[in-house]
Amino acid sequence: MDFVEILKRVDRDLYDSSDKAALPKLARFMERSKGIGGLLKSNNAILESFPTSSLLKLQDAYEHFERWKDAFRNAKRVLATSKLALPDRSFTQTAFPHELSALERVARMCQRTGYADVASWEKAVSAHLALWNACVSLAMDKGTVSSVMVNSAHADASQFEPYVFSNENIRELKKYLWLGARRGEKAGIIKLEFNMPESEFIAQARAHVVEMGIAAQRREIESVLDELVGSTIRQVVAVLMDFDAYHEALQTARDAYVGLLQVPPLESPKILSVYVGSADSNRGAVVVDKAGKLLESRDVKNSQSIVDEVKAILSDSEIQAVVLPVSATDDATLRDVSDLVDSKPELNVVRILPAAMSLARQKLSTPPAIASALVLVFRAIRPSVEWANVPASAIGLGEFTADLDDKRLEAALTDSRLLLAYEAKRDASGGVGKRVQKKRRLNPLVRTIRDLKPGMTLDGIVTNLTKFGAFVNVGLATEAMIHVSQLSTDFIEEPSQVVKVGQTVNARVLEVIPEKGRIALSLKPAGAEIPRRQQESRELQQARENASAIFNDSEMAQIREAALSAPVKRPGSGEYPSPMGPPQSGGGSKEAPKKSRSEALADLHALFKK
């Protein structure tokens, strides 16, 4: 079975949108060049047949095809060693490695001598494989998994407490929880326990047994399931979850990397870059022009004040922008420098990730502190070039980058970088039969952070996700932030439930603090920030007004006390929603109420309970 047939089965949408005549050629070229990267480097004409948005997806599909081929060869070898046979077409019915691994058990259960002819044999094998696939789908859709702490005395046990959970649906389980639990399992701190939908497995077996042949029909259903599915289903589910989580972590790293490469370059005539590392190391300050030419540098000993040096540079030079690291081991000193530059509203302050600094500065002949300051400013001036020179695995592109194979990560991010370059070249030339289109600048009327005002709406591209929110590129050197509480009007546990890296959003400006380089955005509609308690208070006020025509003050007090200790019952059954029974009328005549006593009482009762 070839790549095109596998693609048709594993990603039908991608198959339908691809050039069918070009697909076999693409597969052959990818096999020769070991993936899409070789084709991108060679600018092979076959690439013109596919949209750039599909190329990485096709690479993923091709890697799946390679895994299938390895599993196919292994299955053939196992069957030959065991002297078992299967109809040739049985292998062409598979598209996933787990199906091929199941074929050995199927071969033992469906030996040729038990069937009158080849057709009935093939039919029985297909039915066994169909039952296996049905059980795998049921396990993923309806099975649950728990993560149990089994070694709380371990020195690292506290690190894995966030990854302890119970009875989570397997398919819906957050991938970061799975990766954390698997890491804890490897350390001997956590144990994963699966709960499979056994009764539904049995129902599927009964539905398929008619097609499974006389050998299966003569056995107990539970015996057939035990041999075909057994405990193997748990191992397969774990492998499938590993793959999905790994792929999601890899895709997150890809998206974050592309986000770094696509950050708009910092353009200022004179830029000050300040590096702060650890408390016992020197600090560096450099001034460069917009091309990165070094104009001034200061290597500041740890015993000297870097804040005073920065003050001196700012007073003597016409600095328009300042570049700082986003973090430092000596965070107190970095905070002092930040407070200084943030206090000057005329400065554009940009913060750069100080990842892999010791590696990046090796290419510079200046002292380490000055070299580090230069690395920071170069990353701000020419991000696509500088980040491309840093090994992807050293950048730290997500919480679970460490769980990814370094070579696989490096290859995937190299492909992403090559694809960006290829896409830019294709856009410039117009491609085959395409018009040249200049990319539209995000928010063209917004040139600096001071152009932003609360209430404005901005287009943006999500560049990174954290547990507390999403970072968004709005066309400025300073990225905006959408806090997790501003991503949706509904409660969400993490930003990935609403947005993804690379997604285009239209957001509303909540707050701008130019002197601190902070931009807060919201995806909520205007007015959604009104606290619910204010809305409820209006409802309660209206209910009280309705009730004032019915109940006196003494009755209102009784209603409130009873409401807080009793469940709500709506009128209609002849019962009052309070255990106090029908309220007795008090003194004074009232005008005819708009609502009945029971309706007003129920409204008050429900609102008091809130």
Query: Could you please report the per-residue DSSP string of 480-511?
Result: EEEEGGGS-SS--SSGGGT--TT-EEEEEEEE
- Give the type of residue at 237: V
List Cα–Cα distances, 345 to 269, 307, 309, 337, in angstroms: 17, 17, 19, 14
Does pLDDT of 436 surpass 50? Answer: no
List Cα–Cα distances, 511 to 135, 181, 449, 488, 530, in angstroms: 52, 38, 11, 17, 16
Query: Residue for token digits 């919480």?
Result: 399
List Cα–Cα distances, 472 to 51, 67, 348, 450, in angstroms: 25, 36, 18, 17
Who contacts 472 (Cβ-Cβ below 8 Å, separation ≥6)? 460, 461, 462, 463, 479, 480, 481, 482, 505, 507, 521
Task: Return the sign of the alpha-carbon dihedral for residues 294, 299, 305, 306.
Answer: positive
Does pLDDT of 578 surpass 70? Answer: no
CATH, range 270-381: 3.30.420.140
Q: What would the pLDDT profile of 208-222 be if each residue is shown by its tens digit?
A: 998 998 888 889 999
Say what percent of the chain tops pLDDT 70. 83
- Give the type of residue at 250: L
Q: What pLDDT is recorded for position 37?
A: 82
The model carries a pTM of 0.65
**What are the residues facing 349 on neighbouring strands?**
322
Q: What pLDDT is recorded for position 584?
A: 40
Q: What would the pLDDT profile of 52-80 be if each residue is shown by its tens digit?
A: 888 888 888 988 999 999 999 999 999 99
Q: Which two tokens stand for residue 137?
A: 């789908």
Q: Which residue has the higher pLDDT, 452 or 589?
A: 452
CB burial string 259-297: b at 16+ within 10 A, e below: bbbebbebebeebbbbbbbeeebbbbbbbbeeeeeeeeb
Could you tell me the pLDDT band of residue 134, with boundaries at 50, 70 and 90? very high
Q: What pLDDT is recorded for position 580?
A: 36
Q: What pLDDT is recorded for position 570?
A: 38
Does pLDDT of 315 surpass 50? Answer: yes
Q: What pLDDT is recorded for position 121?
A: 92
Q: What pLDDT is recorded for position 69?
A: 93
Ranges of beta strands (E only) in 382-448 are none
Does pLDDT of 322 surpass 70? Answer: yes
Q: What pLDDT is recorded for position 411?
A: 85
Q: What is the C-alpha separation between 255 and 257, in angstroms, rounded?
A: 5
Q: What pLDDT is recorded for position 569?
A: 39
Do 399 and 176 meet the contact criterion of CB atoms below 8 Å apart? yes
Residues in the chain: 610
Q: Which residue has the higher pLDDT, 520 or 251?
A: 520
Q: What pLDDT is recorded for position 400?
A: 66
Do 594 and 550 meet the contact criterion of CB atoms below 8 Å apart? no
Q: Which of 287-296, 341-350, 519-528, 557-566 is the least confident region?
A: 557-566
Q: What pLDDT is recorded for position 135?
A: 96
Query: Residue for token digits 């292994």?
Result: 74
Alpha-carbon Rg for the chain, nearest whole angstrom, is: 33
Other Cβ atoms less than 10 A from the Cβ of 545: the count is 11
Beta strands 469-473 and 457-466, pairing class? antiparallel
Q: Which of 3-7, 19-23, 427-431 is the least confident region?
A: 427-431
Give the three-state DSSP class for 25.
helix
Helix boundaries (H) for 19-174: 23-33, 36-42, 52-82, 88-92, 97-109, 118-142
Q: What would the pLDDT profile of 518-545 be if each residue is shown by its tens digit?
A: 899 999 887 665 444 444 445 555 665 6
Query: Nearest CA to 460 among 448, 447, 471, 449?
Result: 471
Q: What pLDDT is recorded for position 531?
A: 44
CATH of 3-11+50-252, one of 1.10.3500, 1.10.150, 1.10.10, 3.30.1380: 1.10.3500
Q: What would the pLDDT profile of 583-607 be if each residue is shown by its tens digit?
A: 343 444 434 444 555 566 566 555 5
Could you tell me the pLDDT band of residue 375, with boundaries at 50, 70 and 90? very high
* Residue 328 burial (C-beta neighbours within 10 Å; 0-12, 13-18, 19+): buried
Say what percent of the chain tops pLDDT 90. 35
Query: Nearest CA to 129 among 9, 8, 241, 228?
Result: 228
**Residue-range domain boundaries for the chain:** 3-11+50-252, 270-381, 449-522, 532-609
Could you tell me the pLDDT band of residue 471, with boundaries at 50, 70 and 90? confident
Q: Which of 102-106, 328-332, 475-479 has the highest mean pLDDT?
A: 102-106
Does pLDDT of 548 surpass 80? Answer: no
Query: Nearest CA to 86 among 52, 66, 109?
Result: 109
Query: Nearest CA to 233 among 348, 100, 98?
Result: 98
Q: What pLDDT is recorded for position 433?
A: 36
Could you tell me the pLDDT band of residue 437, with boundaries at 50, 70 and 90? very low
CATH class of 449-522: mainly beta
551 phi, psi to nearest 5 deg = -110, 145
Do 581 and 559 meet the contact criterion of CB atoms below 8 Å apart? no
The mean per-residue pLDDT over the stretch 461-466 comes to 80
List Cα–Cα distances, 533 to 55, 530, 563, 605, in angstroms: 50, 8, 18, 16
The mean per-residue pLDDT over the stretch 294-309 comes to 92
Q: What would the pLDDT profile of 381-402 be if each residue is shown by its tens digit?
A: 998 888 888 877 777 776 667 6
Q: What would the pLDDT profile of 553-575 be if each residue is shown by its tens digit?
A: 555 555 555 554 444 433 333 33
Q: What pLDDT is recorded for position 517?
A: 77
Could you tell me the pLDDT band of residue 146, with boundaries at 50, 70 and 90? very high
Question: Cα angle vertex 148, ends 147, 151, to 5°?
Answer: 135
Tell me what the pLDDT averaged over the chain comes to: 82
